[in-house]
Structure 1
């Protein structure tokens, strides 16, 4: 009976049980643990009309294919459906990995070709599997054709993918500017995109625009804005965010609290970062990394190490970033012995990972600065991968600082092999020859540079060196020139 107020009767759960075949099929699909079992299940579904008509069975099968990372059975079954329900198609999209071997666009075209209609959840699901601007443009066009161009949920999904895939953010900026009333998700997406692309000033400018538009931020907004403050050194804005959070009574959860600690640390306000850290009820390895890194940045190596040992005492397992911060602190505090010990523990697998190139770089820098050049060279030789120009450059700086011309020459040769078009390496080599009175060799290096067209990048130092080497060679007075 209709309600007196004119409302329809309340909906009640269906009392009609699903067919036994559907129940058995769902149990088999949901308990399936082997990709090899998916093909027989697909054959069984195709042979049973009741199963083929069941959106629950088809959707569960698609999701099982995604869970077991075997999409072929799902694609074959999808191609056999006469007119799949949009719920079924969305389940297929959910089963796709972030970077599928096949684009979801042909699946969408097949779906539309059967006369089916997408809904507002279809495009956001599909967009997460797209990674190229060309595909995004095609999907964007299809969004407009399907009538979802004004749907904020869909537009935000498009905005997020453009922000992730567009190197210069031009498409994302245009889409955002065309949105009549962007919500907090839209604003946060743009702020985060600017921060992730290294445009911290634009991120903070957009953050201010959001407030001018009377859109209230959420926690994700604040975390992204604090990241931009940290990168830009905008401590005043960071303090304002902290005060805003306190005014609203937001709890300092592990994500927001860590963002505040990181911002204060990178802006040089370590004491304030410590105060925030002490008020947090939950901390993770990222929180500890932020506070240790803060002391490393202000070159307080002893405090960085104290916090590192406190972290271990609290049962938090250091990760690769933790050890980079610790070794960096050792470099700038000149703590050679403790740096050696920690690096050796990393090599021995004490922390569950092998040293990466940044750990090697810190160790080479530490040993080179302290004059342990042979040890630094042995660290470079022990690297599992080929040392890059940064590693050799750190060693070269130590060689120069401590006057080791022999090792300097060897290191410079390594740099020349890695970067044969870099004129500064040739100038360094020529200078080394000149400093040891080997003016003929210095002149040959400069001559070779000219022939290769590299001289133009070396500036005045190259011209001065060339003039002096030419004069010494013409005079034949190498010893006098070397003094």
Structure 2
């Protein structure tokens, strides 16, 4: 190439870069720029490629980049591949996330050898999409290329296995790591939390404290969520004190997590301290307060804060309505519950009631003895009644001694969950109370033939339904 030709090409490159970085660039302009880029054979230039991919991302045209570097250019530079995979992996679109994996497969097929910058983003997509089987294949590739000693890659594998529920594999990899950073510990805490092993999550967090690794905000949010679900108040208080000692800003996420923890651990008054010092709050913050009051059975206070929330123009969501209806049920506030549910039915909040809202309303009516009204509501539901709905009715019927309706509700629960022994036990006990000993014996025979054993720990459907309804608020 002559000096003149090189100078012309350099000028064209500069012009294309300027056009790509122009804030007013449109999709139609982009198509023309891409055509010029291909015409002048500049698509191999890594600087231009990086800017091109970035522009595609801002214009929602990442598909164009994917097509360019997989169909028109069979073997792009590894830097270009990594840049494209990174942008695709951060997309909220599942199809684009899948294409980040497709880009990796393309690299593998074209023998474009990956490096340590390739895998964290490929593994992020695999984690987000819960692609465990593909993730295991990629794991063998990492070991094959000798890249499994990099801590960023190791942390990405922890995240993959943790998010896919393979917590034992996650823990094994963690234990085998020669070095661990705050991300390693946080991912393990998160993995235990996401699979419902809250006590283990708190245990890992405690171990992290003892290791001398300082937690970050993400660690604290996950640890607080675990504390909230296993009653780890002492650890939750330690986190609160640590945050204050470090002078961290009480932002929306951290503050809401603290309020939620205090509410679920029965210390909602301490949650109010956090609420009042927060500069910014969102609907999740208000939900944590109202839910905490509902769990504390402070129905009138929960309703008062719900009304304050509306006055401050914070739009309630589905969880808000669940919490306030549950609070009404605990406090026996039938009229208030009816009024709120009616507003929900009339579209005041912008969404219709779901099965969980009906379950809360049926629970309210049944608890207060309005059994026929509760049954009518179930019959008029636009969706199929769930176990929580029938369980709420059964609990109310048992509370008020309505044996006929109790029998009806119990059979509905058995139809929905034929392998749950608790429902059979309640029905058999009910028949015993009614003096229908033959029917009670038939139920016990049916349990035996079905291989169901009486679980003394869950023989009370009332307790089970309370748990189901509490779960709606968590």
The 5-angstrom pairing of residues 120-139 of structure 1 reads: 120-130=116-126, 131-139=130-138
Counterparts of 2:227 and 2:363, CA distance in 1: 29
Counterparts of 2:437 and 2:152, CA distance in 1: 70
Moved more, 124-133 or 97-106: 97-106
Query: Is residue 2:102 matched to residue 1:111?
Result: no
Q: 1:277 is matched with which residue: 266, 269, 275?
A: 275
Deviation (angstroms), 1:184:
0.8
Residue aligning to 2:346: 348
Counterparts of 1:119 and 1:273, CA distance in 2: 47
Residue aligning to 2:39: 48
The 5-angstrom pairing of residues 74-473 of structure 1 reads: 74-75=66-67, 77-93=69-85, 94-95=87-88, 99-100=94-95, 107-130=103-126, 131-165=130-164, 167-422=165-420, 424-426=422-424, 428-429=426-427, 442=439, 445-446=442-443, 449=446, 453-454=449-450, 457-458=453-454
Residue aligning to 2:27: 32
Contact 2:266 2:296 in 1 (8 A): yes
**What are the Cα deviations for residues 37-83 of structure 1, in whole angstroms up to 9, with x where unaligned?**
97x998x4796242443445655369738964784883475133142
Taking structure 1 as the reference length, the TM-score comes to: 0.80
Contact 2:84 2:100 in 1 (8 A): no
Moved more, 369-378 or 429-438: 429-438
Q: 1:18 is matched with which residue: 9, 13, 18?
A: 13
Change (3 A) 1:137 1:302: same
**What are the Cα deviations for residues 384-416 of structure 1, in whole angstroms up to 9, with x where unaligned?**
221122211211222222233333333233234
Deviation (angstroms), 1:341:
0.7
Contact 1:194 1:200 in 2 (8 A): yes
Change (3 A) 1:448 1:184: closer
SS of aligned partner of 1:353: coil
Change (3 A) 1:124 1:376: same
- Give the number of equivalent residue pairs: 440
Contact 1:200 1:231 in 2 (8 A): yes
Counterparts of 2:116 and 2:25, CA distance in 1: 27
Contact 1:65 1:71 in 2 (8 A): no
Counterparts of 2:453 and 2:103, CA distance in 1: 53
Contact 1:270 1:295 in 2 (8 A): yes
Deviation (angstroms), 1:334:
0.4
Change (3 A) 1:54 1:297: same
Counterparts of 2:163 and 2:146, CA distance in 1: 24
Counterparts of 1:353 and 1:313, CA distance in 2: 19
Contact 2:88 2:99 in 1 (8 A): no
Contact 1:254 1:280 in 2 (8 A): yes
SS of aligned partner of 2:41: helix
RMSD over aligned Cα atoms: 3.4
Counterparts of 1:446 and 1:157, CA distance in 2: 51
Deviation (angstroms), 1:155:
1.7
Gaps of 5+ in 2: 1-8, 457-474
Change (3 A) 1:417 1:264: closer
Change (3 A) 1:152 1:422: closer
Counterparts of 2:227 and 2:312, CA distance in 1: 29
Deviation (angstroms), 1:321:
1.1
Counterparts of 1:394 and 1:117, CA distance in 2: 59
Deviation (angstroms), 1:188:
1.0
Contact 1:30 1:64 in 2 (8 A): no
Counterparts of 2:299 and 2:218, CA distance in 1: 32
- For CA contacts below 8 A with separation 6 or more, give which structure has more relative contact order: 2
Deviation (angstroms), 1:418:
2.3
Residue aligning to 1:477: none
